[in-house]
Structure 1
Amino acid sequence: MIPARDAGRTPDGGRIRGRRLRGRVGVLGACGLLLTAPCVAWPGAASTVAPSARADGGTADGGVPQGLRRYYQQRLVWEPCLDVPSFQCTEVTVPLDYADPDAGDLLLAATRKRATGSGARIGSLLVNPGGPGESAVDYLTDGADYFSPSVRAAYDLVAVDPRGVQYSTPVTCESDTVTTAAGAGRRLSDEAVEIASDETGYAQLGNACAKHAGQLLPHVGTVDAARDMDVLRALLGDDRLHYVGFSYGTYLGATYADLFPSRVGRMVLDGAVDPAMDGYQRFLQTAGGFQVAWESFAADCVARPDCPLGHSVKEISRTLDTLRRSLDRVPLRQGKDISITGDDLLVAVTTALREPAWDLLREALRGVLAGDTTALQQLLGSSEDTSGNADDAFFAVSCLSAPLAPRFTAAQVRAALPQFRHTSPQFGEFYAPQLMQCAYWPVPPAQPAKPVSAPGAAPVLVVGTTRDPATPYSWSKALTRQLSSGRLLTYDGDGHLAYLRGSACVDTAVDRYVMLGQLPPVGATCT
């Protein structure tokens, strides 16, 4: 078993869970890996690469290279989605390789919810939930109603699955390597053996992906996905891209802004990734973020008369460590099919800290102490709520980006363990093995770690949560400093992400910017 994705990979805690559009899974995949003509299997929709009414591809300056003009001039056909007729679906044709548009095409699946208002429409608002690997289409069809009535009235809400993801020409590695659904690492009961096992698993996954998806792997990076968003922006008829990105979606949005600063509209980046950090710091700081979140939970528990875990933060942390070691030695069994290990326990804890779901976490830990796994299973179930090819796509996209994916050897992981343990006594060992996640990936990284500035871009609103475990607050501050027009809105709170998570203050500030273009004051903080 190897760690599939870091616990900060997506805004899982902010994702609106519900009915998944499973009926679409595999439909596009059946059309082939590389497509030179539109595949009409996407329910009720097709696209035609033919001249549109906007000969310049819809850009503000008409600056579309000749080789890409046909993509910017295709005509989209929007039709009701078969299983969600209140949404419209279409397919967008994009080049496999922007440097060589004649090398073949890919298909992207897009969906939209038309603006509900009868007044002036601002434009389209593109939404990405993060990941990488999570379906933006599923996110929007499940959660469109969580956007305020005013936003839904003024914007068409639009989502496109990035290349390689779910309904858009998916990366499918067909690997039988077992991965952990919540995407955290593991505790090291036998350090050398565990690290060697993880290294073998990563190597097997890399080999499987090279075998089954090798032709696509070099072309599913964040830069290509950002270029795809510009094609879609033009086809939607917008001179500027209005965008809300969560978690990894902030990295995608920042990459777009750096590539096309003059085409940035009202852009909101919630739970930012720092584009200038390297993969080592990404995992080290994530471990530290979960440590901060755990200690915040523990301090809250101490203040409660019925806290089942101890009377101080240190005592509660020792309780967690004792439980984990006990379950590593003897898994807790409940019924014939339930076996809870120490790894399962920490997966559940990180899931609850992301949400945040502190009441359920207290209940789950109280239950485990009493030999009952009911609440813990609830957390583990939500951590496994992934769709389609999310695991394969996660690796394929991450391994093309230096800030997202380190390439360390097992020996380097062992050498890094003391720093990880110092940074995060509870979660350092949980994350250190992920330094190997791309060590055996068959394609080298294409996007280096570097600051983004997006000179001349319209204001970009960055939202950072002070005790966000998955994308630590320092990352939002770093991205804001890098952007030439960045403005930080701070949410003094817990859990991963802030917008659409229950803070009226955050929602009002973001909506005011999205609707009116009014930024919050410098130094604005919501509690």
Structure 2
Amino acid sequence: MRAARFISVATVLALAAVTGCESSGDNEAAPSTTAPAGLGSFYGQKPSWKGCGSGFECATVQVPLDYSKPSGEKVGLSVIRLPAEDKSSRIGSLLTNPGGPGGSGVDFVRQAARAFGDDLRRRFDIVGFDPRGVAASDPVKCNTGPQLDEFFATDASPDDQNETNKLGDEGKAFAQRCKTKAGTELPYVGTMYAARDMDVLRAALGDNKLTYYGASYGTYLGASYAEQFPKNIRALVLDGAVDPKLSSTELLIEQAKGFETALRAFADDCVKSGGCPFGNSADAVIDKVASFLTATDKKPLSNSRDSRKVTESLAVMGIARALYVKEYWPVLRQALTQAMQKSDGTYLLALADEMVERKADGSYSNQTDANMAVNCVDKPNPPNLATYGKAAAEAKKVAPRFGPFVVWGGLPCVYWPVQTKQEPKPVTAKGAPPIVVIGTIRDPATPYKWAQSLADQLSSGVLLTYDGDGHTAYLQGNSCITKATDDYLITADPPKDGTTCR
């Protein structure tokens, strides 16, 4: 979730379309006219919606950069919506966030809005937004394409102090570039600010109460909203939950363990499918992958796309990308076969590039920069390289293939120019209506135990389980998950706590 190397976004494009369900619900409530002191102009704004292609409408909503200084500098949030198909039975807006942090909510809705349930699309405007610092919302932009190429290719499984120092140098350089290019913005891009923005969006959209679907990091954003505005909630779905009470390094270590779980699921599937080229047992497949990564550490792979060498770090990133969604497993099988048999990392590199939104011309979206900027200010970070190295060593013990790569990916936060002393704590959202938390048992990026923990922390948490693979559940096309989620969003009546879908 946290490291720029392993960004958790809802991977909807490769997923099967979902089906809707029929239900009933109350008509839209009158919009709230109450705004916090000094923020009336923000809460009372009416977006100027304009058509932006394929039936979508786009607008910009203004929020204060610093909520303690509402008359100061402003941030324009890019917003998109697919209007409800049936205006006569419209309930309101369904605000969404795809995760990251750093994922574009505008792009998410453009790509995925029509994959939401039929009844949801009929009765809700499906709304996405780019959070502050992301994509089209005053983006944090620190690094050039070549600089990010170097950052991602750096050996994130150091074998000696020289390699560790190289990681430290890359982390320092990343942080310094963000201080130079985005220093005034960095204190204000954290999740707590983005959650406050969501309440401005709720009012600007004309909704008395918030209806929200958040995936991956979007669950942390949604939980933060619930903690700050429990009385303003109509229905919240938190899919692929992040555990708010964990420290920054605890999150990374647990995420690395999640990728190990997903790798074993891939290995089991490869063997059961027959003709697995990597071994005749899951253990043999995992050993083969581990040996391949060790060899790639010593001798990087070539690729036919450009002049880059496919280092061990890039190979691990490519593997991780494919583990996010089960539909990519055949691609991973092909990529590993190409890499192991031909020393050709072309397919793995393509997966890695997709993971971090690297374009064919060598440029990147601002996903990585925004991801780091948000994560580094959300929670306290280890004080120095040596302390951080201890966390990476712990991760390697419990997640040998992924631990070091996931943990070292967040190293720039050690050197970040803006630090918080606010320790993580449980989120209770006392006074909120039922909040549905969805967990996928073999989720690689947000381990199932996080969903269990968040549902338990929330005073009104309801756990919905998907016994399956891949990152997040709702847009995977499982009819049980789809119906339970759609029914709740439409009626605000949750499924029974502990419901499991298969």
Task: Flag whether TM exceeds 0.5 (same fold).
Answer: yes
Hey, what does 2:471 align to over in structure 1?
A: 496
Cα 1:278/1:4, change in 2 over 3 Å:
closer
Give the C-alpha shift of residue 146 in structure 1: 0.7
Hey, what does 1:155 align to over in structure 2?
A: 124
Pairs within 5 Å for 1:472-491: 472-491=447-466
Cα 1:182/1:272, change in 2 over 3 Å:
farther
Hey, what does 1:42 align to over in structure 2?
A: none
Give the C-alpha shift of residue 435 in structure 1: 5.0
Q: Secondary structure at the match of 2:249?
A: helix
Say which of 395, 402, 417 aligns to 2:372: 395
Give the C-alpha shift of residue 61 in structure 1: 7.0
Hey, what does 2:12 align to over in structure 1?
A: 14
Say which of 296, 300, 307 aligns to 1:327: 296
Hey, what does 1:269 align to over in structure 2?
A: 238
Alignment check: 8 A CA contact 1:283 1:434 kept:
no
Give the C-alpha shift of residue 384 in structure 1: 3.9
Pair 1:341 & 2:311 matched? yes
- Structure 2 distance, partners of 1:212, 1:373, is 33
- Structure 2 distance, partners of 1:162, 1:379, is 25
Q: Secondary structure at the match of 1:469?
A: coil
Say which of 109, 129, 148 aligns to 2:98: 129
Hey, what does 2:488 align to over in structure 1?
A: 513
- Structure 1 distance, partners of 2:266, 2:357, is 23
Hey, what does 1:27 align to over in structure 2?
A: none
Give the C-alpha shift of residue 452 in structure 1: 0.8
- Structure 2 distance, partners of 1:278, 1:73, is 37
Pair 1:65 & 2:25 matched? no
- Structure 1 distance, partners of 2:491, 2:385, is 51
Letter aligned with residue 471 of structure 2: H
Cα 1:376/1:253, change in 2 over 3 Å:
same
Hey, what does 1:25 align to over in structure 2?
A: none
Pairs within 5 Å for 1:367-406: 367-371=338-342, 372-373=344-345, 375-385=347-357, 388-402=365-379, 406=381
Give the C-alpha shift of residue 285 in structure 1: 0.4
Pair 1:359 & 2:330 matched? yes
Pair 1:462 & 2:437 matched? yes
Alignment check: 8 A CA contact 1:186 1:431 kept:
no
Q: TM-score, normalised by structure 1?
A: 0.85
Alignment check: 8 A CA contact 1:226 1:255 kept:
yes
Say which of 198, 211, 216 aligns to 1:242: 211
Cα 1:462/1:429, change in 2 over 3 Å:
same
- Structure 1 distance, partners of 2:237, 2:339, is 40
Letter aligned with residue 10 of structure 1: S
Cα 1:59/1:397, change in 2 over 3 Å:
farther
Letter aligned with residue 79 of structure 1: K
Give the C-alpha shift of residue 175 in structure 1: 5.2
Q: Secondary structure at the match of 2:139?
A: coil
Bigger drift between 458-467 and 411-420 goes to 411-420
Give the C-alpha shift of residue 131 in structure 1: 0.8
Cα 1:158/1:323, change in 2 over 3 Å:
same
Alignment check: 8 A CA contact 2:262 2:443 kept:
yes
Q: Secondary structure at the match of 2:274?
A: coil
Hey, what does 2:45 align to over in structure 1?
A: 74
Which structure features the higher share of helix residues?
2
Cα 1:366/1:238, change in 2 over 3 Å:
same
Q: Secondary structure at the match of 1:332?
A: coil
Q: Secondary structure at the match of 1:108?
A: strand
- Structure 1 distance, partners of 2:470, 2:236, is 22
Say which of 206, 217, 221 aligns to 2:186: 217
- Structure 1 distance, partners of 2:320, 2:423, is 29
Give the C-alpha shift of residue 244 in structure 1: 0.3
- Structure 2 distance, partners of 1:436, 1:339, is 23
Cα 1:215/1:187, change in 2 over 3 Å:
closer
Cα 1:512/1:158, change in 2 over 3 Å:
same
Hey, what does 2:408 align to over in structure 1?
A: 433
Letter aligned with residue 390 of structure 1: Q
Deviations 1:259-284 (A, max 9, x none): 00000111100011111110110111
Q: TM-score, normalised by structure 2?
A: 0.89
Bigger drift between 261-270 and 413-422 goes to 413-422
Give the C-alpha shift of residue 479 in structure 1: 0.6
Q: Secondary structure at the match of 1:168?
A: coil
Hey, what does 1:40 align to over in structure 2?
A: none
Unaligned runs of 5+ in 2: 16-28, 359-363
Give the C-alpha shift of residue 368 in structure 1: 1.8
Deviations 1:124-143 (A, max 9, x none): 00010011111101111121
Pairs within 5 Å for 1:302-321: 302-321=271-290
Hey, what does 2:24 align to over in structure 1?
A: none
Pairs within 5 Å for 1:227-306: 227-306=196-275
- Structure 2 distance, partners of 1:199, 1:474, is 31
- Structure 2 distance, partners of 1:417, 1:390, is 24
- Structure 2 distance, partners of 1:222, 1:284, is 21
Bigger drift between 330-339 and 130-139 goes to 330-339
Letter aligned with residue 385 of structure 1: E
- Structure 2 distance, partners of 1:100, 1:479, is 32
Cα 1:217/1:378, change in 2 over 3 Å:
closer
- Structure 2 distance, partners of 1:334, 1:289, is 29
Alignment check: 8 A CA contact 1:7 1:470 kept:
no
Alignment check: 8 A CA contact 1:97 1:103 kept:
yes
- Structure 1 distance, partners of 2:200, 2:150, is 33
Q: Secondary structure at the match of 1:437?
A: helix
Q: Secondary structure at the match of 1:325?
A: helix
Give the C-alpha shift of residue 393 in structure 1: 1.1
Letter aligned with residue 125 of structure 1: L
Residues paired across the two proteins, number? 481
Give the C-alpha shift of residue 63 in structure 1: 4.6
Unaligned runs of 5+ in 1: 18-57
Give the C-alpha shift of residue 105 in structure 1: 1.5
Pairs within 5 Å for 1:1-150: 5-6=3-4, 8-15=6-13, 63-81=34-52, 84=53, 86-150=55-119
Deviations 1:111-160 (A, max 9, x none): 11110124311100001001111110111112111112211110011111
Q: Secondary structure at the match of 2:66?
A: coil
Give the C-alpha shift of residue 292 in structure 1: 1.0
Alignment check: 8 A CA contact 2:315 2:349 kept:
no
Letter aligned with residue 355 of structure 1: V
Give the C-alpha shift of residue 64 in structure 1: 2.3
Alignment check: 8 A CA contact 1:492 1:526 kept:
yes
Bigger drift between 373-382 and 474-483 goes to 373-382
